[in-house]
Amino acid sequence: MAIEIKELLVKVVVDESPVKTNVVTVQKHQDVERLKADIIKKCTREVLEKLKEQQER
């Protein structure tokens, strides 16, 4: 069964005090893209688990 997720909203709350306020972290484009892909993969798994639970009921 193919499932198409048309829209995925991800809300993230980060509650950490910065170590140094004057330091700017520059990340490689590949690293950012990998992090985005990881977040999408994890969220997709959550959606599939919820759908599976609903089908079992």
Instruction: Please determine, for residue 55, whether its predicted confidence score (pLDDT) is greater than 80.
Output: yes
Tokens of 46: 């959550």
- Mean pLDDT throughout 1-30? 68
> Which 8-state DSSP code applies to residue 3?
-
pLDDT in tens, 20-34: 555 456 567 777 888
Tokens of 52: 């599976």
Q: What is the pLDDT of residue 25?
A: 60
Instruction: Give me the chain's average pLDDT, please.
Output: 76
Rounded Cα gap, residues 53 and 16, in angstroms: 34
Reading phi first (left if > 0) and then psi (alpha if -120 to 50, else beta), residue 8 is in: beta
Q: What is the pLDDT of residue 26?
A: 59
Whole-structure pTM value:
0.53
Rounded Cα gap, residues 29 and 40, in angstroms: 17
